């Protein structure tokens, strides 16, 4: 944990209100960005983010200050969101074909010449990328965000999600492929 | 914006190409770069305050308003006037102070203890002491100036007490207590 985070935690445990506020301000955005990509609803994501911090502060005395505060908060956010998802059934979109195999990316056509439509598509690409990210299975979206947005190591992701390391790597591989496949289907892959 | 979109597209193409080749390291590098330029979703601006309120943490409050300052000024003034009233009434303070002799106090206390411990009739000595003290107080109170000073002190005390109660109630209403 960074020195500053350690100081904040100690101050918060001592009852410093400003330290509590600093912790929330510092981590609200990363926590929210993970949760919103799992639940796909801003309102629910804000409620779950708030619930995460409330749980964290109530259990702050149990936090091991040798560990990273961010990982601990992400872990609470993960558990809180998973509990919410278990209570609620989200509409899911099948990622696999009927025979259970992902369509090979080699089915995507080769690169074509630049057109005005493709230039406009570049501006839309980020929007579509974000949309498709949120359409993935919640655990896939979460693992992509933890790995590529928060730049966490496999071990940290395993600790946060409670999954074995091998499962984390498998999920990561499948999540990457699923996202690429979804984008290819939307015609966003090179050559579309 | 257009340059950023083009860069995003290029990185995106590199990622797809790496996935096709099965180059995991390049795919992860490209995907990391894509995420670094994606805007991070942000919660509403009131999430921090709402969370802190739920926790019962008050941050950013405690701004003293004019009425709060005025009350404290009044309390300070009342206390100062009460102190000055005491200082301006020497006839109240003087006689008791002059009468008090440390040696006399010790002797009185010892006598009282011995008398009480030996026989109950020793209570007469205590009675005599109380009577002397009463005479001194009565003599002091007989002076109009002393009565006036005492009345002023009493009024100031009541005003101070009332102001303090108002201040506490005000602070409670504004949530500072």
Is B131 within a domain?
Answer: yes
Q: Please tell me the predicted confidence (pLDDT) of residue A145.
A: 93
Q: For residues B30 and B11, is the Cβ–Cβ distance under 8 A?
A: yes
A152 Cβ under 8 Å from any chain B Cβ: no
Among A81, A104, A90, CA closest to A137: A90
Radius of gyration of chain B (CA): 39
Question: Residue B136 corresponds to which tokens in the numbers above?
Answer: 């001194």
CA B30 to CA A64: how far, in whole Å?
34
**In A, which residues are within 8 Å of B20 by CB distance?**
105-106, 108
Question: Residue B93 corresponds to which tokens in the numbers above?
Answer: 């303070």
Residues B37 and B84 in one domain: no
Residues A179 and A125 in one domain: yes
Mean pLDDT by 10 residues, chain B (177 residues): 69 88 90 87 85 70 49 81 74 63 75 71 72 81 81 90 82 57
CA A46 to CA A49: how far, in whole Å?
5
- The reply to whether the predicted model has a pTM over 0.80 is no
Q: Please tell me the predicted confidence (pLDDT) of residue A106.
A: 35
Number of residues assigned to chain B: 177
Whether B1 sits inside 8 A of A30 (CB atoms) is no
Residue B123 lies in domain: 66-173
Is A73 within a domain?
Answer: yes
Residues A83 and A10 in one domain: yes
Overall domain count for chain A: 2
In A, minimum Cα distance to B41 occurs at: A33
DSSP states along A162-187: T--HHHHHHHHHHHHHHHHHHHHHTT
Among A184, A34, A164, A166, CA closest to A95: A184
The interface predicted TM-score of the complex, written ipTM, equals 0.73
The 10s digit of each residue's pLDDT in B134-159 is 888 777 777 788 888 888 899 999 99
Residues A121 and A83 in one domain: no
Residues A9 and A83 in one domain: yes
DSSP states along B43-112: --TTHHHHHHHHTT---S--PPPHHHHHHHHHHHHHHHHHHHHHHT-HHHHHHHHHH--HHHHHHHHHHH
The 10s digit of each residue's pLDDT in A89-147 is 655 554 444 334 343 333 333 333 444 554 455 557 788 888 888 889 999 999 999 99
**In A, which residues are within 8 Å of B35 by CB distance?**
144-145, 148-149
A47 Cβ under 8 Å from any chain B Cβ: no
Whether A189 sits inside 8 A of B16 (CB atoms) is yes
Overall domain count for chain B: 2
Residue A23 lies in domain: 3-87
Is B60 within a domain?
Answer: no
Residues B80 and B165 in one domain: yes
**In B, which residues are within 8 Å of A37 by CB distance?**
41
Is B49 within a domain?
Answer: no
């Amino acid at each position: 944990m960074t020195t500053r985070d350690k100081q904040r935690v100690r101050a918060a445990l001592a009852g410093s209100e400003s330290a509590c506020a600093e912790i929330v301000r510092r981590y609200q955005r990363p926590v929210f960005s993970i949760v919103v990509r799992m639940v796909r609803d801003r309102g629910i994501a804000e409620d779950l983010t708030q619930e995460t911090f409330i749980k964290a502060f109530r259990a702050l005395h149990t936090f091991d200050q040798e560990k990273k505060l961010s990982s601990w908060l992400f872990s609470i956010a993960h558990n809180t969101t998973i509990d919410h998802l278990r209570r609620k059934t989200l509409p899911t979109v099948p990622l696999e074909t009927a025979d259970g195999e992902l369509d090979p990316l080699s089915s995507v056509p080769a690169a074509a010449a630049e057109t005005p439509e493709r230039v406009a598509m570049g501006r839309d690409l980020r929007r579509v990328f974000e949309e498709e990210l949120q359409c993935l299975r919640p655990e896939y979206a979460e693992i992509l965000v933890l790995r590529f947005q928060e730049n966490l190591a496999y071990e940290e992701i395993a600790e946060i999600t409670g999954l074995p390391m091998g499962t984390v790597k498998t999920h990561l591989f499948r999540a990457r492929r699923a996202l690429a496949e979804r984008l290819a289907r939307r015609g966003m892959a090179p050559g579309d | 914006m257009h340059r950023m979109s083009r860069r995003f597209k290029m990185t995106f193409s590199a990622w797809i190409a790496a996935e096709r080749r099965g180059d995991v390291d390049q795919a992860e590098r490209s995907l990391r770069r894509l995420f670094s330029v994606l805007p991070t979703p942000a919660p509403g601006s009131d999430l921090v305050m709402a969370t802190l309120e739920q926790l019962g943490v008050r941050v950013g409050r405690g701004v003293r308003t004019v009425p709060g300052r005025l009350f404290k000024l009044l309390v300070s003034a009342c206390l100062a006037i009460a102190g000055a009233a005491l200082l301006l009434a020497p006839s109240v303070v003087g006689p008791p102070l002059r009468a008090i002799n440390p040696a006399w106090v010790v002797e009185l206390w010892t006598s009282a203890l011995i008398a009480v411990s030996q026989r109950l009739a020793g209570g007469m000595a205590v009675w005599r002491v109380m009577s002397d003290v009463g005479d001194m107080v009565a003599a002091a109170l007989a002076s109009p100036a002393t009565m006036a000073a005492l009345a002023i002190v009493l009024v100031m005390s009541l005003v101070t007490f009332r102001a303090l109660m108002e201040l506490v109630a005000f602070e409670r209403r504004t949530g500072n207590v």
